Every structure is written in C-alpha cells, then in structure tokens.
Structure 1
Amino acid sequence: MASVDVLSARFATYDKMYMHEAREQSFADWPFREECNCTPEKMAKAGFVHCPSENEPDVACCFFCLIELEGWEPDDNPWTEHSKRSPDCGFLTMKKDLTELTVADYYRMEKERLKVYLKKVCHKKMAYFRDGIDHMLESLTSQLDTLT
C-alpha cells in the first residue's frame, strides 16, 4: 500500500492522466503484452497508470481513485478488477468520454479526485496514530506489570 508521500506525489502528477495517451505511455515496461486481457491499452482505458516498485513490476494505480492493484494475471480484465475493488470510482461512473468534458465537468471531477485523495491520506494518518497509541499502551502496560 502506498505511503502518504507516494499518494501525494501521485495526486500531484496524475492530473495529467485524464488523457488516455498519457496513461498508456506509463506502461512502457508493463510485463503483459499481446494475447492478454491486461494489455497497456486496456489498462489505460480502465483508468490505470503503471507505477512499478522494485519488488512489484505489475503495480497499477487508478489516476482518479488512487486504488493500487498488483498481482495481475494475463486473463485479468482491468475494468472488472477496477470496478470490483473501487465501485464508486468517479472515473468508472463518469457518463461522458473524457474528451467531451466541459471546464465545469473537469473542475467537478478534480474536486472529487481531491476528496478521494484527502480521505485516503486522513485514513493513513489515523492508522499511524492508532498504531502509536497501541504501541504506547503496550509499553505502559508492560511497565505497570513490572511494578506489581
């Protein structure tokens, strides 16, 4: 799962990924090519951007909802996998082709994309604080146990 820093970097650069060609170009080193359901073209059409890591060459992230998926199989359908894991993604539920967006549509979508990003960052930070509280509680409990 992506860190807050990674999410922030993606959010900042993925505003350029409304264009299918930009998303498809990100798949230059994608491991799946011909005779697969998850070709670069199909991945890009489903809203994904290729964002591999050292250990995972097949990580793809939706430019809009920032869901990150890995462990792709040649028979996986990008639209199906995306909609299964993020059914409310604004990109998937969009009624217009991206080339038909008005300026007002674009700003509404960017507002939604910002909400998704902020929600993910807040959840990650809350989880970090919860882990810190749990660790502190364990430490204090352990210290208390040594006193009794």
Structure 2
Amino acid sequence: MAKTSSLKTELHAYSEMYSYEKRLQTFADWPFREDCLCTPEQMAKAGFVHCPSENEPDVVSCFFCLKELEGWEPQDDPWSEHVRRAADCGFLGLNKDFGDLTVAEFFKLEQERLCILIRKTLQQKMASFRDEVELVRKNLETLFDPKDQIPYQTSNKRESA
C-alpha cells in the first residue's frame, strides 16, 4: 500500500510542475546564480526541477520526460542541454505557453507524461528485482557450493547372483 501512495504522491508532485513558478521554487539551493546561463530562472523555463542529492547538488530532472542531468557548468545553456539529451520530450515540443493549451492538448500531453512516468517506474522496479534475484542467487551458491557437498550414495545396492 505504501508503494502505491508513493507513486500517487510522485504523480501529483510532478503534475504541479507544469507551472513555471513551482519549478522555480525547487531551485532554492541551486549552486549557479549570477553570470551564468544556467540560472534558476533559465533552468525552470527549460522544464527542469532541481532534485539534488547529498553527493550531487546540481541534479535536475525534466518534469515531463524525467530525463536527469547533472554536472552543470556556468556556461551550459539549459534549453540546448535539454534538446541535446531529450529531443523527443513533449515539453520541448510545445509551441505555445502552457496557459494557452486547449484542454485536449493538455490531456494529450498529460497522457504522454504519465506513460513516461509509469515506464520509468517499471524500469526501476525491474532493475531492483534483478538486483535482488542476483543477491539471492549468490547467497544460494554460497550455501550450496558443490565442493562442500557430501556425495550422494545409494543404500540399495544390488547384489549380483
């Protein structure tokens, strides 16, 4: 049940990120501020959400295609980097402001975004499952190492007449 509510939370949180202002709010601790191309404003305009980790303070994710980028330099242009690494992103294909979308256009975009999110979630779960299977396999090999086994002997030997 907790995993389902986590997915619902993630679905809701990223659906709010259609808003430039909401995306911009995520860049409170963004390391690049002045005299650079990748300011919080430019990052948010390019569709990015700041999602730092302890080891990677400059990780961003597109709210739409979920492509994660890190290793930003002050001269990096967010739009160019997004196009170069995720050219098929539906957000990049918008030819008008989000507020000018028709309801039909919004639902089409949202359907595409949800498919991407579900696909990414399934890929993560499958990778986690493969890792778990590999760990169990290694544990079983350790427990049942053939060189540690006693050879099987039958107790019913036939006597020749």
| Map of 2:102 onto structure 1 | 102
Greater relative contact order (Cα 8 A, min sep 6): structure 1 or 2?
A: 1
How many angstroms does 1:38 deviate by? Answer: 0.4
Q: Distance in 1 between matches of 2:76 and 2:6?
A: 25
How many angstroms does 1:81 deviate by? Answer: 1.8
Render the CA deviation track for 1:93-116: whole Å, top value 9, x for unaligned: 223321211111111111111101
Change (3 A) 1:49 1:6: farther
How many angstroms does 1:119 deviate by? Answer: 0.2
Amino acid at match of 1:121: T
Paired residues for 1:54-133 under 5 Å: 54-133=54-133
The count of aligned residue pairs is 145
Amino acid at match of 1:144: D
Q: Is the partner of 1:34 in helix, strand or coil?
A: coil
How many angstroms does 1:48 deviate by? Answer: 0.4
| Map of 2:149 onto structure 1 | 147
Q: Does structure 2 retain, via aligned residues, the 8 Å contact 1:31–1:58? A: yes
Change (3 A) 1:94 1:137: same
Q: Does structure 2 retain, via aligned residues, the 8 Å contact 1:18–1:98? A: yes
Bigger Rg, which one: 2
How many angstroms does 1:8 deviate by? Answer: 6.0
Q: Is the partner of 1:42 in helix, strand or coil?
A: helix
| Map of 2:159 onto structure 1 | none
Identity %: 54
Change (3 A) 1:5 1:141: farther
Where does structure 2 lack aligned partners over 5 or more consecutive residues? 151-161
RMSD: 2.3
TM-score (norm 2): 0.78
State whether structure 2 residue 34 is matched by structure 1 residue 30: no
Q: Distance in 1 between matches of 2:59 and 2:8?
A: 17
